[in-house]
């Protein structure tokens, strides 16, 4: 698996360094644990990328408020409130800034980092209401980029104190890719106030990881360089079921339940290790491993209040990540390490989302703002500050048949290895969303 591949790479380097007289055991243990956190943050859990500018501008809410094609993802029951055929598409732009600090105290403290920029299509959907004598029947079809593996990190360590032959260790990691949902959904009115919906998802995705590390010797012939590339292809399936209930013209509540999501993964790994002091290059052309991930149930609750021109909305999502399951085609690849890590370090996570919008009907303009706290489901010893984001945006009605929604999201989080921690990696995240809709 990804973090095991990384650990093997780093272990190989350290073994060669030990042969050269470099004892760096305690730092190696910390680095391996840090990589475990990176895996569960970016690959297995992934971070919900968001699929709609309106929802993102109101704190990534949608269990109640996504009464358009984005309901395919946020809550399929909301589709029952769509009255016109709608085509919807969206773009997103991501900027992340990483700063990683190795805190060894005094003159040996090091700061390093990498920035990342990505622009992609992240949503395309078609929503079709079916004429009915009473109530509502609506179908939706779409493809949405729901997971983001985009990440970059750089680390520098001064190793001069522990080895007379080496003075610097550097590491550069980049990760890119995403998880897509190809969805067919439907919703009906069960009663004048209650709607129900179901979404069926086919998931596909790719995660591309690359690492370059170098242990620099005082003599250039002692330098050790490693290049490591990992490609993972995902295929899977899942489903969402939802309800939407209007208590009154003001208050509406929503519930969405996501079934366990099954993902089958095929991982290809290529590694080159150049040990200049021995004129030896170790090349692993293509190592392949296959495994299956089963993500646990997830539950979402939402409540909205419509007060004339003001909409106020709040969502809460719950997932118990300690129930994550991993199975390898070749059991010897795991040796129980993954199960042990899950039981010891993964936990329940509750994310909280709040937002509001204000309508200027004469101008056809809506302004929005929000906030959400999205805790990482990892033991607190790995976290210095949790994921939280502030959001803002606006919506524009064009010729009564088109809408343009824009959103800006700013926030981040900070990770560490062990308490009190020697490695601190700070991620600052900025995202821009643009969603266009045409209604017939």
Encode the chain (440 residues) as per-residue pLDDT tens digits: 444 444 434 433 333 333 333 333 233 333 333 344 445 554 455 566 788 999 999 999 999 999 899 999 999 999 999 999 999 999 999 999 989 887 765 555 678 888 999 999 999 999 999 998 888 999 999 999 998 888 888 888 877 666 667 778 888 888 888 899 999 999 999 999 999 999 999 999 998 888 888 888 777 677 888 888 888 899 999 999 999 999 999 999 999 999 999 999 888 888 887 776 555 555 555 677 888 888 899 999 999 999 989 999 999 999 998 888 888 887 666 656 677 777 888 888 899 999 999 999 999 999 999 999 998 888 777 888 889 999 999 999 998 899 999 999 999 988 887 655 677 889 999 999 999 999 99
Indicate the pTM of the whole model.
0.86
Close Cβ partners of 86 (under 8 Å, ≥ 6 residues apart): 68, 69, 125, 126, 127, 437, 438, 439, 440
CA distance 389 to 369: 11
Residues 6 or more apart whose CB falls under 8 angstroms from that of 271 comprise 5, 9, 226, 227, 228, 229, 282, 283, 284, 287
Nearest alpha carbon to residue 1 among 43, 29, 41 = 43
Residue 437 to residue 440: CA distance in whole angstroms: 10
CA distances from 255 to 77, 280, 315 (A): 9, 60, 10
pLDDT score recorded for residue 340: 77
DSSP for 347-366, written as a single string: -EEEEEEEEEEEEETTTTEE
User: Can you give the pLDDT at residue 147?
Assistant: 87
Nearest to 174 by CA among 216, 223, 122, 230: 230
**Contact by Cβ (8 Å): 430, 407:** no
H or E segment and range at residue 19: helix 2-19
CB-based contact 291:331 (threshold 8 Å): no
- Is the separation of the CB atoms in 182 and 74 below 8 Å? no
How is residue 399 written in tokens? Answer: 């010729």
CATH number of the 2-439 domain: 2.40.160.60
What angle do helix axes 2-19 and 25-39 make, rounded to 10 degrees? 170
Q: What is the pLDDT of residue 15?
A: 37
Neighbours of 229 (CB within 10 A): 15
């Amino acid at each position: 698996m990804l973090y095991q591949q990384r650990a093997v790479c780093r272990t190989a380097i350290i073994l060669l360094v030990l042969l050269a007289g470099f004892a760096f055991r305690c730092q190696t243990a910390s680095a391996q644990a840090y990589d475990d956190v990176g895996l569960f943050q970016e690959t297995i859990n992934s971070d919900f990328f968001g699929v709609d500018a309106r929802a993102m501008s109101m704190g990534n809410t949608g269990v109640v408020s996504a009464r358009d094609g984005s309901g395919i993802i946020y809550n399929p029951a909301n589709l029952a409130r769509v009255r016109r055929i709608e085509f919807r598409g969206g773009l997103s732009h991501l900027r992340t800034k990483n700063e990683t600090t190795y805190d060894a105290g005094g003159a040996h403290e090091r700061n390093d980092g990498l920035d990342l920029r990505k622009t992609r299509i992240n949503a395309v959907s078609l929503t079709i209401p079916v004429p009915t004598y009473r109530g509502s029947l609506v179908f939706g079809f779409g493809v949405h980029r729901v997971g983001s593996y985009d990440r970059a990190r750089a680390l520098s360590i001064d190793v001069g104190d522990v080895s007379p032959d080496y003075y610097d260790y550097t590491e550069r990691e980049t990760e890119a890719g995403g998880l897509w949902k190809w969805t067919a959904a439907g919703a009906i009115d069960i009663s004048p106030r209650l709607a129900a919906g179901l979404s069926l998802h086919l998931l596909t995705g790719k995660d591309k990881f690359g690492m370059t590390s170098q242990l620099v010797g005082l003599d250039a012939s002692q330098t050790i360089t490693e290049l490591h590339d990992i490609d993972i292809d995902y295929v899977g399936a899942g489903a969402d079921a939802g309800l939407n209930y209007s208590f009154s013209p003001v208050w509406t509540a929503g519930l969405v339940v996501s079934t366990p999501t099954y993902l089958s993964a095929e991982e290809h790994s290529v590694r080159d290790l150049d040990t200049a002091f021995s004129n030896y290059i170790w090349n692993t052309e293509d190592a392949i491993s296959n495994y299956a991930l089963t993500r646990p149930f997830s539950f979402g609750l939402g409540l909205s209040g419509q007060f004339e021109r003001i909409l106020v909305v709040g969502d809460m999502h719950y997932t118990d990540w300690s129930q994550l399951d991993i199975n390898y085609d070749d059991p010897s690849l795991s040796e129980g390490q993954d199960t042990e890590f899950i039981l010891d370090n993964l936990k329940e996570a509750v994310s909280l989302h709040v937002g509001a919008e204000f309508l200027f009907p004469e101008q056809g303009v809506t302004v929005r703002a929000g906030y959400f706290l999205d805790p990482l489901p990892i033991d607190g010893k790995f976290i210095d500050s949790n994921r939280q984001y502030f959001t803002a945006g606006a919506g524009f009605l064009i010729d009564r048949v088109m809408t343009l929604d824009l959103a800006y999201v700013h926030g981040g989080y900070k990770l560490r290895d062990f308490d009190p921690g020697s490695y601190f990696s700070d991620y600052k995240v900025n995202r821009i969303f643009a969603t266009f809709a045409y209604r017939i």
